[in-house]
Structure 1
């Protein structure tokens, strides 16, 4: 077991509003939409705060009511918002249609020309936000937004390196975002991952980064993929991932894995059914891994904590998993009766 890490976690990325019609209603026929505040990095910030770890959000939001709604959600969750800037542009949104029976879920993005996508790197106060920080958490979504997104991601990484703050990079590869412009995803992501201490990604993410086809069927092949990443990136100390098997839209099986250079741990697979909301489950997993890293727990405990939070998120609506350490401790992955 390693020592507990002190300081706050800085989460950097775009916040989005999620709008969803009732389950079973296609967007084209919707006359009402539920609103949830989210965004990959903000989901982690809010969940970390709920788990008792100080979190600070760095982002840009429009100076209107929608931007204020996002700030309010951060504040309600206990996230430090002092590094959130208000900038010209619009609030990024996406529409999520819930899976229904044999019909899969569907995401429709509407995020072009958002405040975040247009903000200048120098307008985001990275150095101030990172002062005294334990970790910078960011993802591959930001550079996928275009040239300015790449500049923002590099500015965040450079600021973290100047202050010797470790970096957690979540692959979060979004093919549709990368295909919208002529960016070289492999080159850009390699540059960012090479600076990271923690990588959240599986064999497919590593295959993309290294330009080779790596297998993920079974613990042995996943270990080989992790070792290839450790060989390629000397700064990496930890890799965490999940393995998901989809039985139906409402029934999934999930396992979690954590690799260090000299050791690894993989959980047993759990069956999750029925699924209330799959969106944000990866961010819940990331939260569990980061809690384990901050608390200095052993690998097996870290993997189990990540799996617990990911499993719990499948049963909660919205993008964010809002739970306390006590709720997580009481949660039984095998299921259980009513808690009275």
Structure 2
């Protein structure tokens, strides 16, 4: 392929108070710039591909600093919308009692959340673009954003642009009266590549799930997980005519042995299972799935073999677990060294 890879989504600040310390008294509040689609865009730019990103941000000095940061990472931001009153953010505490704290969103009335369909001329934005990526986090925000996504994928199809969709499910965001199953199938119908996991596919697209696999838990036999991933993949490509590739991730946290991670990839009449990765301790879970998505895009964009694409993407995702930020800063060479042979 050639041409730009355009990513669309909300740019966010992730704020990480350490609950195991007196973070208020110490005046220490670490933060990261990210958002699912920006994490993909940043990874692709780091790996030398023509990566572009579009979002909405308020016009102020904070924004200008972030834009300079993105330029330094060589992410194309030519179509960034400077409007609205605030950037969205969310809190992800670490330290004690994190299990009960969870994610705390503060995204209402952000510049991105207040976007209107008339704000984006997709025909113009898609000039020189050959790949468009977005995630299910976008249509979770509002009906208007869902409609903007639908406008985008329809125009992408008209211009023969490859579309990838990440089935990120965020239950705390779907608050405008619609369930994912009412919105996501219409968007997935325009996707060439759908990535997620078997539970998200059921939740958002209505795929079937084995009766014994209704809950997400790490105790399922490996063979059962692989068979379910294959069934889900075949169901998606059969149901959605445009869908050519389906990828699923499996990441389980074990108290005894840390994290288990492996993935599957279906396309071109092949069903592949990646090598398995294990780690007793990690640094940061955020952005691992985004890094996997970026790895798939990297491989397919460069017309790598499917096996090579899958193993690169899986190693990139696992590698991200050891990086304290939203997006990877590992080079292609770094990731290749981590691939299991």
Say yes or no: TM over 0.5: yes
Q: Residue 337 of structure 1 aligns with which residue?
A: none
Q: Residue 18 of structure 1 aligns with which residue?
A: 14
Cα–Cα, structure 1 residues 29 and 147, in superposed 2: closer, same or farther, change >3 Å?
A: farther
Contact preservation (8 Å) 1:62, 1:87: yes
Cα–Cα, structure 1 residues 271 and 29, in superposed 2: closer, same or farther, change >3 Å?
A: farther
Cα–Cα, structure 1 residues 201 and 332, in superposed 2: closer, same or farther, change >3 Å?
A: closer
1 CA distance for matches of 2:41 and 2:166?
13
2 CA distance for matches of 1:58 and 1:291?
19
Q: Residue 219 of structure 2 aligns with which residue?
A: none
- Per the TM alignment, residue 23 of structure 1 is displaced from its structure 2 partner at its CA by 6.5
1:220-299 residue pairs with structure 2 within 5 A? 220-248=227-255, 251-260=258-267, 262-299=269-306
Contact preservation (8 Å) 1:60, 1:84: yes
2 CA distance for matches of 1:311 and 1:233?
30
Q: Secondary structure at the match of 1:243?
A: strand
Q: CA offsets per residue over residues 214-266 of structure 1, 9 Å max, x none? A: 14632122111111111110110001121112113992100011111511111
2 CA distance for matches of 1:260 and 1:266?
12
Q: Secondary structure at the match of 2:55?
A: strand
Task: Give the TM-score of the pair, scaled to structure 2.
Answer: 0.90
Please identify, of 153-162 and 187-196, the stretch whose mean Cα deviation from structure 2 is larger. Answer: 153-162
2 CA distance for matches of 1:93 and 1:248?
30
Q: Residue 199 of structure 2 aligns with which residue?
A: 204
How many residue pairs get aligned? The number is: 329
Q: Structure 1: which 5+ runs fail to align? A: 335-340
2 CA distance for matches of 1:35 and 1:102?
17
Contact preservation (8 Å) 1:139, 1:171: yes
Cα–Cα, structure 1 residues 102 and 177, in superposed 2: closer, same or farther, change >3 Å?
A: closer
Q: Secondary structure at the match of 1:117?
A: coil
Say which of 51, 57, 60 aligns to 2:56. Answer: 60
Q: CA offsets per residue over residues 42-88 of structure 1, 9 Å max, x none? A: 01001100011111111110111232233223212110010101012
Q: CA offsets per residue over residues 101-120 of structure 1, 9 Å max, x none? A: 98577321100000011122
2 CA distance for matches of 1:67 and 1:250?
42
- Per the TM alignment, residue 329 of structure 1 is displaced from its structure 2 partner at its CA by 2.0
Please identify, of 19-28 and 38-47, the stretch whose mean Cα deviation from structure 2 is larger. Answer: 19-28
- Per the TM alignment, residue 31 of structure 1 is displaced from its structure 2 partner at its CA by 3.5
Contact preservation (8 Å) 2:139, 2:146: yes
Task: Give the TM-score of the pair, scaled to structure 1.
Answer: 0.90
RMSD across aligned positions (CA): 2.2
Cα–Cα, structure 1 residues 332 and 136, in superposed 2: closer, same or farther, change >3 Å?
A: closer
Higher relative contact order (CA 8 A, sep 6+): 1
1 CA distance for matches of 2:166 and 2:322?
23
2 CA distance for matches of 1:61 and 1:315?
29
Contact preservation (8 Å) 2:19, 2:97: no
2 CA distance for matches of 1:26 and 1:249?
29
Q: Residue 115 of structure 1 aligns with which residue?
A: 111
Cα–Cα, structure 1 residues 188 and 103, in superposed 2: closer, same or farther, change >3 Å?
A: closer
Please identify, of 278-287 and 219-228, the stretch whose mean Cα deviation from structure 2 is larger. Answer: 219-228
